[in-house]
Amino acid sequence: MPDPGRPDVGNTAVRWDRVADGVLRVTLERPPANALGKPIIEGLAAALDELDAAGNVITVVTSAIPGFFAAGADIKHMSGVDAESFLAYGNELRGVLDRLAAPNRVTIAAIDGLALGGGLELAMACTLRIAGAGARLGLPEARLGLIPGAGGTQRLPRLVGRGRALDIMLTARQVPAPEAHAIGLVDRLVADGQAEQEALKLAAELRRLSQPALHAVIRTVDAAFDLPLSAGFAYEVAQEQELFESGEAKEGLAAFLEKRPPKFV
């Protein structure tokens, strides 16, 4: 439940509230389907400003629209603009998703219903994805004569591999949640209507851990896709050494030896 001392804030399309110490819920609420137009882009940017100011916060991105996480980009807007405005709109969306995907934050997408096009790109920009059993995910841009242009062609292969990513994008099909879970597009599969609850539970668990360590895990895993193996090993060593010298490793090791919970920031 939201903290009664901290009411929801945001714009008309995105609101956020602190549901627990160190856990922020960001809720998309733009009927009828959470199209990722200017209102949601601006709302997400404002929510990210809040995250940056809050520091070590685990974030859950969810939806208040039944049947939809987010159905995609704002097609009506895209169809009525010129080339320059089309590029500007795409850059705004890409900028927000890139900020969301930064390795210095942990975010969890709670997907119940449809996550299509830009909606799936939003979910893939999050660190983890939890989906209800009836959710459906896809990148149908080929039906519009376009490609997934907000990171979809790059993030999807890193999650599911080249062949599966091509199958999903070339066919423009909707992937049922059980299949999405089996191929690694979704990290946890829960009963319908339970994605947000499970995401908030996981967020609370993660917040009790060392945030610098979690961020270092994300950075080193991401490096595995970009660096040769030997360079990846070297980067891993550097990250671990940094945690030992200036992170929270000393507190974690001391707490283990003293048989007490660690006091992480």
| Cα–Cα nearest to 207, from 63, 15, 69, 19 | 19
Q: What is the pLDDT of residue 78?
A: 84
Q: What is the pLDDT of residue 73?
A: 82
Q: What is the pLDDT of residue 8?
A: 63
What is the CB-side half-sphere exposure of residue 237 using CA atoms within 13 A? 6
Q: Which residues, in sequence order, are bridge partners of residue 26? A: 16, 61
Q: For residues 138 and 180, is the Cβ–Cβ distance under 8 A? A: no
Q: What is the pLDDT of residue 5?
A: 35
The residue ranges of DSSP E strands in 42-195, in sequence order, are 58-63, 68-70, 106-111, 114-116, 128-132, 136-138, 175-176, 188-190
Domain residues of the chain, as ranges? 9-207, 211-257
Q: Are 9-207 and 211-257 in the same CATH fold?
A: no
Q: What is the pLDDT of residue 6?
A: 42
The model's pTM is: 0.93
Q: What is the CATH number that goes with domain 9-207?
A: 3.90.226.10
Low-confidence ranges of the chain (pLDDT < 70): 1-10
The answer for 222, left when phi > 0, alpha when psi is -120 to 50, beta otherwise, is alpha
Separation between Cα atoms, residue 28 and residue 131, nearest integer Å:
16
Per the annotation, the verdict on 42 as an active-site residue is no
| Per-residue buried b or exposed e for 207-224, using 16+ beta carbons within 10 Å of the residue's own CB | bebbbbbbbbbbebeebe
Q: Of these residues, 141, 196, 198, 248, which one is catalytic? A: 141
Per the annotation, the verdict on 258 as an active-site residue is no
Q: Strand, coil or helix: what is 243?
A: helix
Q: What is the pLDDT of residue 10?
A: 63
Q: Reply yes or no: is the peptide bond before residue 32 cis, omega within 30 of 0.
A: yes
Q: Of these residues, 121, 196, 198, 248, which one is catalytic? A: 121
Q: What is the CATH number that goes with domain 211-257?
A: 1.10.12
In the block, residue with structure tokens 């992937």? 175
| Cα–Cα nearest to 151, from 172, 126, 129 | 126
